Homo-oligomer: A and B are copies of this chain.
Amino acid sequence: MPLNTRILLDNRPRGEASVSNFRIETVETPPLAEGQVLVRHHYLSLDPYMRGRMNDAKSYAEPQPLGEVMIGGTVGEVVESRHPRYAPGDQVVGMGGWQQYSVVDASQPGALRKVDTTHVPLSHYLGAVGMPGVTAWYGLVKIIDPKPGQTVTVSAASGAVGSAVGALAKARGCRVVGIAGGPDKCAYVKDELGFDDCIDYRQHRDYPSLAKALKQACPHGIDGHFENVGGMVLDAVMLRTNPFARMAVCGMIAGYDGQPLPMANPALILINRLRVEGFIVSEHMEVWPEALAELAELVGSGRFRPRETVAHGIESAPEAFLGLLKGRNFGKQLVKLV
């Protein structure tokens, strides 16, 4: 059986995560039982949610267990199969984790999904046509539900989720304004992703200043907002919302010391009759087929060309993940494994 190098969570972070929280090891892949499939991973997805799993805190998801392979989405190729629906050569997406190979009980619902790479490159099934894309689709379509001509804003606009929010909102005839960190990301959001405008939040010291920039970029106010960050960005956006605006809450940071970051002016929820709704995409599996079909069409037709940042080799995953947490990636962060 092939050797499998894999990365485990060794200990939990105190404060910032670091490479010392992880441990690497190489083991032989076990022989397959009936119904199992051996998948060789081509790409591993790195995503912000993983940081939350590294803590032992109560949240909507179980913590990542210590001493086990880090959780993560993967795309790859079936190399051996003892399941009738899968054959060597099949390209599949799954939750293989931070490792080169995974043994999957293929009859478990949702464990593996075959994908077609005729029009969509394999790696995009971890990003634009995968979980981040569906996350964008759910928040935009099911919560914000924008009408043509309305203005939609999105934070972390250059990221995997944010870029898909922009593409989906543009496809619906909206004015789309991104918020991102740094001039390079803002240029990418405008010039490559085709947003109508993008604001560099690092140019603003406080939320009233950021709100002024939003007023310029959104002359007709904000009808919908997709929140990946929270804090100052959310406070600024709320000041510029139109009556009956919808805010999809997908990500919320804490303060530097881990204490909750307050919302500055919740009375705006009443004053502007806002709807603010948090969601987790894995609780809405019913939308995945419709969402993936639209996302595959946008990517396959070339109307949505998201960038990827690719690290090489499973050993590079911890450093690449820490870079993602610091915003060093540009678009979807992947690790190429073959």
Residue numbers of A with Cβ under 8 A of B are 59-60, 230, 234, 243, 249-252, 254, 260-267, 269-280, 283
Contact = CB atoms under 8 A, between A and B. Distances in A.
A277 B274 contact: yes
Nearest to A61: B271
Nearest to A59: B271
Contact of A266 (B262, B273, B279): B262
A254 B59 CA distance: 30
Contact of A243 (B60, B251, B260): B60
A285 to B, nearest CB: 15
B267 A254 contact: yes
Given A243-B60, A262-B262, A276-B276, A230 B267 contact: yes
A230 B270 CA distance: 10
Contact of A270 (B249, B269, B270): B249
Contacts of A60: 243, 271-273
Contacts of A261: 266-267
A251 B271 CA distance: 9
6 contacts: A254-B267, A260-B266, A260-B267, A271-B278, A274-B278, A275-B278
